[in-house]
Chains A and B, each alone.
Chain A
Amino acid sequence: MKKQVTLLREFTKGLWEINPTFKQILGMCPTLAVTVSAINGIAMALATTFVLVFSSLFISLVRKWIPNQVRIASYIVIIATFVTIVDLVMKAQFVELSKALGPFIPLIVVNCIILGRAEAFASKNNALRSVLDALGNGAGFLISLFVLGSIRELIGSRSILGYQVLPNGFEPWIIMILPAGAFLTLGLMMGFANMFIERKKNLERESLIAQYKRAGREEITEEVLKEAGV
């Protein structure tokens, strides 16, 4: 039996620890393509979160009836249904956003975050945990898309969420709203994110070693440290 974590952890782990963009590196296609502005990033992340939450909920509810051989096919049909609903609703109610996001709404079907969470989590856990996990991952996706979109919009068109922030004297870097800008920004963001995670890990490791030394424990081997989880 695997260790049960608290319900709160199911949600918060998606924000940072297994953040879809920085740690799982899933859903790169929409991440790179739609983040020319912060609002596009938010809309994309919200649409994905909606699909993620509902498909996780349904998949976890029906997980026991679905034969193993056809599980992926079943998941995809469930996911595609919710994506089509989102697409139709956006076309009917949010014309401008739907135009800006273009083909990336229908493409949520093949966003690996959703199938990834369905396969890795929702198919093994109950409905409540699955929804919390989906919400956490969606929120993590939202944070990274918003930050990425804001940086690109700020440098590429001088504004954030449509409000001009930088003065007219600043010449916008066109590269930031081209695909190349997406790769550069995402690469740097991932680099910084991993740098902080590494640093935090090293600090924890050092403090543990110091603790062991104070306790008079002589042999600090790799195995001992591994057991302590650092």
Chain B
Amino acid sequence: MKQVAHIIATLTIIGIVAGGSLSLVNNWAAPKIALNQKAETERAIYLVHLDGKRYEEIKNSGFEVYKVFNESDSSVGYSLVYSGNGFQGKIKLMIGLTEDLNKITSIEILEQSETPGLGTKILEPPYKDQYKGLSPNPVIKLIKGVEPSNPNEVKAITGATISSRSVVAIVNEGTAKLKSLENKGASK
């Protein structure tokens, strides 16, 4: 009996001390972590809209989307965070779209875990920059081998077709979601 009491007392004291010290550290760290995350989103939003100066989050959309404004406070379009499956794991993108959703300003890869040297080529300008000025209407198409001839075509990376296709799929899906959101907003 005495031993049981000893065991319970030991574990309780250790638990209380551990919990207490963690809450102290968390009190200090939590605001800093939140600030870091905010700074990171902000950086990503302006990466796809270089003339952006201010942004507003569009709430109740079910996903992360921001309306971006320029220096003279007129809207330059949308920054949309969307993710989907890549070759090995999640790919998270920041997609920049113009106000009328007819043109992609550029895309930025926020998170990925593709194969180094192959799939990670989606991070490099030869692939990524293809999205600059691309038209997402009706959808973006991935083509292999030949050079793109239409404004809605993206050339696949040799040896990383799945990664290239994933990015296209994510951009298409995200754009479609945003379009339907706009339509709903217009009909209201």
Is residue A85 contacting chain B, with contact meaning CB distance below 8 A? yes
| List of A residues within 8 angstroms of B132 by Cβ | none
With both beta carbons as reference points, the residue of chain B lying nearest to A86 in the complex is identified as B25
User: In the assembled complex, how far is the CB of residue B34 from the closest CB belonging to chain A, in whole angstroms?
Assistant: 10
Q: Which residues of A contact B15 (CB under 8 A)?
A: 77
Contact A85–B18 (Cβ < 8 Å): no
* Interface residues in A62-111 (C-beta closer than 8 Å to B): 62, 65-67, 69-70, 73-74, 77-78, 80-81, 84-85, 88-89, 91-93, 95
A78 to B19, CA, bound (A): 10
Residues 170-202 of chain A, each 1 if its beta carbon lies under 8 Å from chain B, else 0 = 001010011000000000000000000000000
Chain A's interface size range is 20 to 34
How far does the alpha carbon of A6 sit from the alpha carbon of B175 in the complex, in Å? 68
B61 beta carbon closer than 8 Å to chain A = no
CB–CB B22/A70 < 8 A:
no
Which residues does chain B contribute within 8 Å of A73, judged by CB atoms? Answer: 11
Cβ of B115 to closest chain A Cβ, rounded Å: 8
Main SS of chain B's interface residues?
Answer: helix
Given A67-B10, A92-B36, A174-B117, residue A81 in contact with residue B26 (CB < 8 A): no
**Closest chain B residue to A90, Cβ basis:** B29
Contact B10 A66 (CB under 8 A): yes
Q: Which of A62, A77, A88, A178 contacts B116 (CB 8 A)?
A: A178
Asked if A177 contacts B36 (CB within 8 A), the reply is: no
Measured CA separation A90–B32 after assembly (Å)? 11
Nearest first, the 3 closest Cβ-Cβ pairs linking A and B are A174-B117, A92-B32, A88-B29
Can you show 15 pairs from A to B with CB atoms below 8 A apart?
A65-B10, A67-B6, A77-B14, A77-B15, A81-B18, A84-B22, A85-B25, A88-B25, A89-B25, A92-B28, A92-B33, A95-B36, A174-B118, A177-B116, A178-B116
